[in-house]
Structure formats: structure tokens, C-alpha cells
Amino acid sequence: MEILRLAGGPGVGKSAVAWQVAQRLRADGVRIAYVDIDQLGMCYPAPHDDPDRWALKERALERIARGHESAGAQMLVVSGVAEARIPPPRHGHPVTSIWLDAAEPVRRARLTARDWTEQQVRQALTAGTAESAHAHPEWIRLPTDDLPVEEVVHRVLDTLLLADLSAPGPDRRETAASRARGTVLWITGPRLAGASTVGWRIVSEHWAAGVRTGFADAAQLAFAPDARGAAVAGVVALHEVFADVGAESLVVVAPGRMAPDDVVAAFPHADVVIVRLEADERSRRARADERRTGRGPILAGDDVVGATDAEIEALIAAQGSRSDVPGVLVVDTSGLDATAATRAVRTALAADDRPDRPHPRS
């Protein structure tokens, strides 16, 4: 398996370019996996000896890469930040490392469009300029100034050596199971019921209180030939990496359907709590209307952003609610805003004394 890394400061277009490169290669028949490395370092407070979590993210990436290779991926496309001053880590794979760059006025325009404050924009510009100035020479520099994304994608593809990637990759699938202990809070439910928002708010409360806690968005780990397997393996990898630096709990958001027994089996030594959010169609439609205008975090593969009315209706219809699953704590978020929905989940967790609650097996 080969790895393509696209890094650079905020506003250079690394995520947009990386996602389109992955989609182009997949359309050409390459067994592609994709991950944003920023998704692999959501564990706070940061370790005292790794305040920027560079080492944490690289350890997680090494585990993620190993899992994708075992599942038969031929190339892993990685976007996101990197430690510019050191040689790009290889993690035992052939790596093409490209550092995207852009002039400050270009980056400023892109960051301002994200509704960032002026202080946030200035800090990002200063940091990005410094990183680019000191990037290790093993990074291949590629400017993105005034170039459309499609042209940058074309130049990235020209840089790649794609020999032998037309043949199927090895298929050595392994069943992932975490050895780590602690607590895993798995928040799921139909799309647009609020799982991601509630999970993010809960973990943010932990971080604000100084409780070292990890966070994983299963959907952001599922861009691979075996999507569900990649998601589970990725969350398991993060659970172990975060546990190694002292995290006692992991909050996972996983909208969609996954059997509770499979969730528990993935964490046989942890205390697993599964919460399923339910919401009526009216509430989910209202949340879709907010999301599709681009409000909220920018995430790879978000099929709600820019969706038409017909696409939203199809998405809602395809995600039927189900609340009759033993061992799952069900919370109805219909008509609730993010604050109220989070409070409802907190209240339900505090009152949870069900005898069929999933629990550690050993």
C-alpha cells in the first residue's frame, strides 16, 4: 500500500484537494482509503510531552494505515496538519508527501469565508506562514494560489507514481478488538437525529473539566473499500492510542446502523454504553436545512451540505428509526435544540440502571 500525504497551513485547500484526489483515484479503480489526520488527534487535555499532539496523531495514523492495508487498500490518502520541520513519517509504506502552500491574501480570503474571527484568521496565517517557511525539504512543495481545485488535483496526480496500483491489493482482513479498558460512550441513531452534535458537546464538557477524553467520528474513519470494517477498526485504534496517553473514556459518534453486539464485541475490556437518539422527521428535516447551507464543521464526504430537497427527503426516508434494541439507551431529541438534546442524554445516562446495559466481558 502507498500513502499520499497532503499537508499545509490552514486555508491552502488540503482537505478539498485530498478528497477530490481520493475520489478521482477511486473512480479509476484504485482501492482507496482516506482519512483526515486531524480526526485522529481529538484527545484532550493533550499529553504534557506532546502539547500539539503531533506524536499522538502519527501513532494513530500508523495504526489506521496498518488496518487499511490489511483490508486490501492500495493507497491511503491523508490530509491535514503535519509537523513541517521533520521529514514526513513513512510508517513502513512508500509515501508521497506534498506540502500545499498559498500566499497570505489567498489564505485570508479562504479562512474569512469560514466565518472565523479576525483573531483566529491572524493566528492561522502567522502559524501557516512560519510552518511553510521551515518545511523539511522532503516535502514536495505545490502552490495553490489562484488555481481551481481541479487544477491542483491534476498536479497532485501528476506527482504520484501509480505503478502497480491497477491490480487488486492484498485482502488480509482482521477482526479488530480493543485491548484497552475505560468507558466507551457510543452515540448513534438515524442521520440528523443529532448524534454528532450531542457527542461533540459531551466530550467538550469533559475537556473543559480537564478530564482527558478521546473523541471519534466513525463516519470520518469509514472512507475505505470496506467502509463499516474501516470505521470499527479506526475507532478501536483510536481507543487504544488515546488510552496509552491516559484517556479513561472515549466518546464515539456513529450515525447509522450498527448492531449493539458488534459494538460491544469491538471493546471487550471496556465499559460500553450505547445511546441511540431518535427524532421525528420534522426535526431531522429542520436539522438538514441548517446543515446543507454549510453551517457547522466542514467534514469530508458530508452528503447533507448542498443537498437538494429531494436528496434530503431520500436520506430521511432511508434512515428509519428503531428503538426496540435490547441493551440500548434510547433518547428522543424531537423538537430539542442542541443544548436541550445534550441535557436529555446526560439525564438519561445518570438515571440508567438497566440490567441489560452492555458491559465489559472480561
Residue extents of the structural domains in the chain: 2-159, 183-350
How would you classify the pairing of strands 43-44 and 213-217?
antiparallel
- Identical fold between 2-159 and 183-350: yes
Q: What is the pLDDT of residue 319?
A: 66
CA-based nearest residue to 263, from 274, 248, 277, 249: 274
What is the CATH architecture of 183-350?
3-Layer(aba) Sandwich (3.40)
Output the pLDDT for position 334: 95
Cβ contact 14:6 at 8 Å: yes
Question: Taking residues 65-74, what's their average pLDDT?
Answer: 92
The span from the CA of 39 to the CA of 231, in Å, is 12
Kindly indicate the confidence band of residue 223, based on its pLDDT and cuts at 50, 70 and 90: very high
pLDDT at 168: 53
The CATH number of domain 2-159, selected from 3.40.50.300, 2.40.50.100, 3.40.50.2300, 3.40.50.970: 3.40.50.300
Q: Buried b vs exposed e over 106-126: b needs ≥16 C-beta within 10 Å? A: bbbebbeeeebeeeebeebbe
Distance CA(251)–CA(234), nearest Å, equals: 13
Q: Residue 169 — very low, low, confident or very high, per pLDDT cuts 50/70/90?
A: low
Measured CA to CA in angstroms, residue 88 lies from 41, 95, 96 at distances of 17, 8, 9
Q: How many CA atoms lie within 13 A of 165 on its CB side?
A: 21
State which H helix or E strand residue 313 sits in: helix 309-318
pLDDT digits (tens, 9 = 90+) for 110-164: 888 887 889 999 999 998 898 888 899 999 999 988 889 999 999 999 998 654 5
The answer, yes or no, to whether residue 187 has pLDDT greater than 90, is yes
C-alpha cell at 151: 487544477
Which pLDDT score is estimated for 323?
54
302 pLDDT more than 90: no
> How many of the other CB atoms lie within 10 Å of CB of 259?
9
Least-confidence region, from 145-159, 169-183, 184-198, 278-292? 169-183
Closest CA relative to residue 131, chosen from 19, 36, 7: 7
Res 330: pLDDT? 92
Residue at 111: amino acid letter: L
**Cα–Cα distance for residue pair 202/357, rounded to 1 Å:** 20
Q: Indicate whether 362 pLDDT > 50.
A: no
Output the pLDDT for position 188.
94
Number of continuous H segments (helices) and E segments (strands) in the chain: 11, 11
- Contact call for residues 263 and 272 (beta carbons, < 8 A): yes
Classify residue 256 by its DSSP letter.
Answer: B
The overall average pLDDT reported for the chain is: 88
Residue 308 has pLDDT above 60, yes or no: yes
User: How many residues are recorded in the chain?
Assistant: 362
CA separation for the pair 261, 275 (Å, rounded): 13
